[in-house]
Amino acid sequence: MIIDNEFWELFPDATIYSLVAKRLNNNDEDTAFYEQLLSAAEKEAQQYIQTEPFRENPVVAQWREAFTKFKTKKGARSSIEALLKRVSQGKELGTINPLVDIYNSMSLKHGVPCGGEDLNAMDGELHLGVAKGGEQFLPLGAEEDAPALTGEVIYYDQTGAICRCFNWREAQRTMLTENTTNAVLIIESINAEQSKRAKEAIEELQQLINDRFGVETTSSTFKK
């Protein structure tokens, strides 16, 4: 992964953690394991939503502030806010597929945004940077292209955007599926306190994937 200078200019205190896992079998049918993993993480996540109103919880407030530093689509919120909102409303997370369930559980447990992409579906190197505007993007669940906005923080490759507004919105093109065999998982932080939790999250994520899938993984840390 390459992180562009334009990103560091916006977020000089950020730390981005990535984990590459190869030769996976992401078609584990032991749904009970993943349901239990998510349920335990939902309980852990209660520590991040102790304040009323919801928006004043530090994890939520810090990411809302971060999203004011670049161009966003109206209503865009950090992925961790979306997960914590569900928990605060008493809504359980359903299982999707093993890799997604695992990174969602780590996201909730450690209060940090997590995401994942299928390496085989990418066109060249993965970048985190600032959109020039118009980068091709077909959102998950959509039927029409929704190009990136000029000045928006995006993950992208040579074909177009992969995630918009950090990992707020996922592209269909590179999403993790049951057929994914090679994946990159990413955990984001924008300050020192978040970075500490993100480091714990990536280490636990790596151990869980190593144990669950029996594969070797490679982690990387990116700082300015």
In the chain the domains, ranked by start, together with CATH numbers, are 2-223 (3.50.40.10)
pLDDT at 216 over 90: no
Q: What is the mean pLDDT of residues 19-25?
A: 96
The pLDDT of residue 169 is 93
In this structure, are residues 72 and 149 in contact, taking their beta carbons and an 8 Å threshold? Answer: yes
C-alpha 27/C-alpha 187 separation (Å) is 23
- pLDDT tens by residue, 184-215: 999 999 999 999 999 999 999 999 999 999 99
- Kindly report the backbone phi and psi dihedral angles of residue 37, in degrees, each rounded to the nearest multiple of 5, phi listed first: -60, -45
92-112 per-residue burial string, b: 16 or more CB within 10 A, e: under 16: ebeebbbbbbbbbbbbbbbbb
Torsion-angle region of residue 130: left (phi > 0), alpha (psi -120 to 50) or beta? Answer: beta
Question: For residue 66, how many C-alpha atoms fall within 13 Å in the half-sphere facing its CB?
Answer: 30
The pLDDT of residue 28 is 85
Structure tokens that stand for 218 in this block: 């490679």
Structure tokens that stand for 75 in this block: 């209503």
The pLDDT of residue 132 is 97
- pLDDT tens by residue, 118-172: 999 999 999 999 999 999 999 988 889 999 999 999 999 999 999 999 999 999 9
